Structure 1
Amino acid sequence: MTTLPTERSVRTTPEGLRWEPSERWVRGYKGDVAVVDSRHPVLVWEPSLPVPQYAFPREEVRTDLLRPAKRPRTGRHTGSQIFYDLEVAGEEVPNAAWTFPSDELAGHIAFEWFGRWDRGLDRWYEEEEEIFIHPRDPHKRVDALPSSRHVQVEIAGTVVADTHHPVLLFETGLPTRYYIPREDVRLDLFDATDHSSGCPYKGRAQYWTWRGADDVPRNIVWSYAEPLAAVGPVKGLLAFYNEAVDIVVDGERLERPVTPFSEMLRTPT
């Protein structure tokens, strides 16, 4: 078996990859087939991606289900990799897995997560909890704190939310999100949409779109009906993208931040 240090410390490879061992039991399924069943995963951060991904020792992967990729997808990951197609029960998933070029990660295979590129495995678990979109970053915190701050939200000069009972969500690397009770939001100015998203820290969200004619991105408001336990206080509350609305906190108008979501909001959903 590949031997890795057990202490939690991040290493950096000559290729610019950051990685560290994880003690979590991670499993990945395609249909009912466990393609990955690993108690020795490694978290890997690529320079071009803001979130981590897992790589697994070959002996903890169903390598009998992998075939050399017929059409390797070059340029998507750091360095020169070997890509694999996955074949399960007659279904082929192109470029579902790959290896990193680093000697330090030799003997490991990484997999696409279903929520990133719409190809890969169907379900992932850390211990007995299903994880969505991408692995959780152990160096990231997400805290949901009830507050008595006075928060107002404006869109195109109209006050659409006004509350003294927000929940402030602090997430490493992102601006503070202000979750507001429904009774303090003018939901009559919005239409529910069929858009949804998943977050490994918070759960699955539903969205609303501004009904006005102004140049406002779609799906500007979201809510978690059944959030994960760690952010339970935001249940049923509504949040707005700071990047595209005006937020006033205790009389101070906040600057609109520039985040990875800024470009997404400029693209029609």
Structure 2
Amino acid sequence: MSLVAGRGPLGPDRAGWFSAPVAEPIVYVEPHPRRVQAVRDGRVVIDTEDALMVHRAGAALSYVFPVGETADLPTEPEEFAPGYVRVPWDAVDTWLEEGRTLVHYPPNPYHRVDCRPTRRRLRVEVPGGVLVDTDDTVIVFETSLAPRLYVAPTHVRTDLLRRTDTSSYCNYKGYATYWAAGDVQDVAWSYDDPLPETAAISGYFSFDADRCEMSAALPG
């Protein structure tokens, strides 16, 4: 949802500005020339390279398909793409894009994640001790999101952390594991098996600034 979410150019808290006013709300529809497949009851019910992608503020990114390419699945028309229909995400068992199994919604072609080694110092403290104090960090720049620092476990007081039952999924980083420190729940998270574009932070920790005392600074 990078175009229409958060600090994206069509989002509610856009980071930049346009040279002229843009009508709101706005819907952007574009060709999506990737192979999209849907599987239900072990049978492929959609298999096409003719999907369109719809970016709509306040809604998850979605595919729409030419009428007649959606088998007997439930559909609803897309008013801004005549001749195309949307299929509810949960109407099938599995969605795939170019062979990759998808979770929640399609990956966004405008979303990018860059992981760069940096000497920015990160210090994280919770009641009971300092969890991190190092300048050996990786900064993650992710479209529409504020940059975040990640730290290798060798620089973290992992003896003060315990795994919680919380988990989440990101289409660009994968499944996250969450960690508590003392009475502070979910103060940190990590990606044990991240997607290829974020392999540089495999096993690294990041921290929730709202749940700890955290400072980050450029190298002196």
Fold conserved (TM > 0.5)? yes
Q: 1:99 and 2:66 equivalent?
A: no
1:221 to 181, 188, 192: 188
Distance change >3 Å, CA 109–CA 207, structure 1 → 2: same
Contact 1:133 1:199 (C-alpha < 8 Å) held by counterparts = no
Q: Deviations over 1:169-223 (max 9, x none)?
A: 11111111211111212223332123222111111111112322xxx5x323111
Q: 1:111 and 2:87 equivalent?
A: yes
Which residue in 1 is equivalent to 2:148?
177
- Map 1:118-133 → 2, pairs under 5 A: 119-133=90-104
User: Which region of structure 1 is more displaced relative to structure 2, 27-36 or 174-183?
Assistant: 27-36
2:61 to 49, 52, 55: 52
Question: What is the one-letter code of the residue matched to 1:61?
Answer: T
TM-score (structure 2 length as normaliser): 0.78
Which has the larger share of strand? 2
User: Which region of structure 1 is more displaced relative to structure 2, 26-35 or 178-187?
Assistant: 26-35
Contact 2:128 2:182 (C-alpha < 8 Å) held by counterparts = no
Distance change >3 Å, CA 157–CA 111, structure 1 → 2: farther
Distance change >3 Å, CA 184–CA 36, structure 1 → 2: same
Q: 1:160 and 2:122 equivalent?
A: no
User: Which region of structure 1 is more displaced relative to structure 2, 12-21 or 237-246?
Assistant: 12-21
Q: Deviations over 1:16-53 (max 9, x none)?
A: 3221111111112234122321211111112213x521
Distance change >3 Å, CA 14–CA 192, structure 1 → 2: closer
Question: What is the one-letter code of the residue matched to 1:152?
Answer: R
Contact 2:120 2:218 (C-alpha < 8 Å) held by counterparts = no
Instruction: Report SS of the residue matched to 2:68.
Output: helix
Q: Percent identity?
A: 31
Distance change >3 Å, CA 125–CA 187, structure 1 → 2: same
Contact 2:67 2:85 (C-alpha < 8 Å) held by counterparts = yes
Moved segments of 4+, more than 3 Å: 12-16, 155-158, 242-246
Instruction: Report SS of the residue matched to 2:198.
Output: helix
Q: Gaps spanning 5+ residues in structure 2: where?
A: 1-9, 11-21
Write the distance in 2 (CA, Å) between the matches of 1:18 and 1:238: 36
TM-score (structure 1 length as normaliser): 0.65
Q: Deviations over 1:85-141 (max 9, x none)?
A: xxxxxxxxxxxx4333x1x3122222343xxxxx44332211122222221221221
Q: Gaps spanning 5+ residues in structure 1: where?
A: 1-9, 67-83, 85-96, 114-118, 253-269
Q: Which has the higher contact order (CA 8 A, sep 6+)?
A: 2
Write the distance in 2 (CA, Å) between the matches of 1:156 and 1:98: 52
Write the distance in 2 (CA, Å) between the matches of 1:107 and 1:236: 46
Contact 1:144 1:170 (C-alpha < 8 Å) held by counterparts = yes
Which residue in 2 is equivalent to 1:192?
163
Question: What is the one-letter code of the residue matched to 1:219?
Answer: D
Distance change >3 Å, CA 162–CA 14, structure 1 → 2: closer
Instruction: Report SS of the residue matched to 1:59.
Output: coil
- Alignment root-mean-square deviation, CA: 2.7
